[in-house]
């Protein structure tokens, strides 16, 4: 019998070989990330040099162009929440039904709500992603494994989908291709990813780079479990969905047992 490690490695390799070709924010060799008017103004204020040639941006280039502006946008929220910038840890909570992405952070104390962003596009319905091409945004607890400054979708951050939980259940059910290439990115269109719009992804990208991707957690839920429980109320959902929803609920409620009714208004 194969070990869990062998199963995960085998399925991970399969995911790489059959990565989603129709929705892959890969390196763009024909155009640079678009620079928005507000960043043009920031570049003028901070005397930022022009970008490199198309497709040759690095994360450091991105920080040079967007960093100071993004920090100026984020700092008031961190100050209001009494969390230093950059914080030591960050958690993003993505709520599919509400189309919101919450930013939580902490330095030496507990996690605090910083602000939220509108999700511009997130395809699919409630329920976990199961296979390549199902157009589902995944549900679960993920990490950011790569920052892409040369994305077709302005900027993007790659999630570690499928994670160990996804891979083990895919193997148990004989699903050889659970899909791959799930990103948080810019623009306002997506198939299976979280499209945040360009301004939001600039802030999220810069924040993640400053904190360190290894210290950023991404929790994706079908809806906010602080409002009403996550329940696998459809026969079409896998038998293990209650287990997944229990893990997601625990993660979100550990940050905030109740919904933050008072949002920061600046």
On whether the pTM is more than 0.85, the answer is no
Q: Name the residue among 82, 72, 74, 77 with its Cα closest to residue 48.
A: 72
Model confidence over 137-158: pLDDT tens digits? 999 999 999 999 999 999 999 9
Model confidence over 19-45: pLDDT tens digits? 333 344 443 333 444 454 545 554 444
**Angle at 149 (CA atoms; ends 118, 72), nearest 5 degrees:** 55
CATH number of 23-223+239-255: 2.40.440.10
Predicted local confidence at residue 129, as pLDDT: 95
* C-beta separation of 97 from 128 below 8 A: no
Q: Which residues have C-beta within 8 Å of that of residue 10, sequence separation ≥ 6? A: 2, 171
Predicted local confidence at residue 43, as pLDDT: 44
Predicted local confidence at residue 30, as pLDDT: 34
Model confidence over 94-123: pLDDT tens digits? 999 999 999 999 998 899 999 999 999 999
**Angle at 120 (CA atoms; ends 117, 123), nearest 5 degrees:** 125
Q: Is the pLDDT of residue 175 over 80?
A: yes
Predicted local confidence at residue 54, as pLDDT: 64
Predicted local confidence at residue 86, as pLDDT: 96
Q: Which residues have C-beta within 8 Å of that of residue 241, sequence separation ≥ 6? A: 127, 128, 232
- Quote the mean pLDDT of the chain: 83
d(C-alpha 197, C-alpha 86), whole Å = 22
């Amino acid at each position: 019998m194969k070990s869990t490690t062998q199963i995960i490695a085998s399925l991970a390799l399969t995911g790489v070989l059959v990565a989603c070709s129709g929705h892959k924010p890969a390196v763009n060799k024909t155009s640079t990330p678009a620079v928005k008017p507000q960043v043009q103004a920031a570049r003028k204020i901070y005397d930022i040099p022009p970008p490199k040639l198309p497709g040759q941006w690095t994360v450091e280039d991105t920080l040079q162009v967007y960093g100071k502006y993004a920090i100026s946008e984020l700092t008031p929220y961190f100050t209001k929440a009494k969390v230093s910038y950059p914080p030591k840890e960050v958690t993003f909570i993505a709520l599919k039904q509400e189309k919101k992405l919450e930013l939580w952070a902490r330095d030496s104390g507990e996690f605090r709500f910083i602000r939220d962003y509108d999700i511009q596009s997130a395809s699919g319905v409630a329920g976990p992603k199961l296979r390549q091409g199902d157009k589902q945004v995944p549900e679960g607890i993920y990490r950011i494994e790569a920052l892409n400054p040369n994305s077709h979708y302005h900027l993007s951050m790659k999630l570690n989908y499928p994670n160990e939980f996804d891979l083990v259940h895919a193997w148990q059910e004989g699903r050889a291709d659970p899909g791959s290439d799930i990103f948080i990115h810019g623009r306002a269109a997506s198939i299976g990813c979280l499209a945040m719009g360009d301004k939001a992804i600039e802030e999220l990208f810069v924040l993640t780079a400053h904190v360190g991707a290894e210290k950023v957690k991404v929790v994706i839920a079908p809806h906010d479990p602080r409002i009403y429980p996550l329940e696998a109320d459809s026969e079409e959902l896998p038998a293990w969905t209650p287990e997944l929803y229990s893990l997601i609920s625990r993660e979100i409620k550990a940050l905030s047992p109740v919904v933050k009714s008072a949002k920061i208004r600046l």
